[in-house]
Amino acid sequence: MRIDIITIFPEIFSPLEASIIKRAQDKGILKICIWNLRDFSRNKHKKVDDAAYGGGKGMVLACEPIFLAVEEIKKHNPESLTILTCPQGEIFNQQKAKELSKTKGLIIICGHYEGVDERVRTIVDCEISIGDYVLTGGELPAMVIVDCIARLLPGVLPEEATIYDSFFDCLVDWPCYTRPEEFRGLKVPDILLSGDHEKIAKWRLNQAIERTKQKRPDLYEKFIKEKGGPHASKSRSS
């Protein structure tokens, strides 16, 4: 999969050269291309923003360099889906990540300042927000999107590893423990030491359901609706 990112701060994206994302690129499963929006400016000072018509505080990213950048990227991957990161967008979640991981490629436009010229939306396929809060720009959301999608690409993680992730089936994760068996009076539950894998699987599923009910009632309601009952899901325990 190829992901192209358009930004005015390309130096921010160094985290994409580490950990799982780096391994995915080294394996040839994922290709990430960072494009400096200023390279597409026809202004002699490489300016890519301007004041908003009608007045107001803040600057707006101009449409021309963004159009030119997207057009250039489309030459390399014409089937790419174009995304704009912005507060108005659809809230990003695991289901959206699954959908995007199955596309031919992505172009992510990092919003900035007071936003982008409205005409940019005519070349955008979808708008994505990672939450109802304000950031200084779309670079961090772009990295969140890339990281989440990359884990879902075949060959990036061990087979079936992602089915145990939080949110895979509307549930948060179950409690996890490792050595030592007891630390400062806090003990690992006996069931996890029993060696009975069937009982352990049932315990984990029940714990995931109960945690979701307590910590994320919104997800719990969705789980009940989609799975048909608190014990209907088998994907995590089998």
Residue 87 annotated among the catalytic residues of the structure = yes
- Single out the catalytic residue among 39, 165, 173, 210: 165
- The candidate with the shortest Cα–Cα distance to 96, out of 225, 85, 28, 228, is 85
Cα Dmax for the chain: 71
Residue 114 annotated among the catalytic residues of the structure = yes
Q: Are 208 and 214 in contact (CB under 8 A)?
A: no
- Single out the catalytic residue among 114, 127, 147, 210: 114
Transcribe 122-174 into DSSP letters.
GG-SEEEESSSS--SBSHHHHHHHHHHHHTTSTTTSSTTGGGGSTTTTS--PP
Residue type, 33: C
- Single out the catalytic residue among 87, 173, 210, 230: 87
d(CA 12, CA 116): 20
Residue type, 67: F
Residue 196 annotated among the catalytic residues of the structure = no
List, in sequence order, the alpha helices (H) in the chain: 19-26, 63-76, 94-101, 139-150, 190-193, 197-215, 217-227
Radius of gyration of the CA atoms of the chain, in A:
22
Q: Are 24 and 129 in contact (CB under 8 A)?
A: no
- Single out the catalytic residue among 64, 151, 210, 216: 151
Residue 158 annotated among the catalytic residues of the structure = no
Q: Are 74 and 80 in contact (CB under 8 A)?
A: yes
- Residues taking part in catalysis: 87, 114, 151, 165
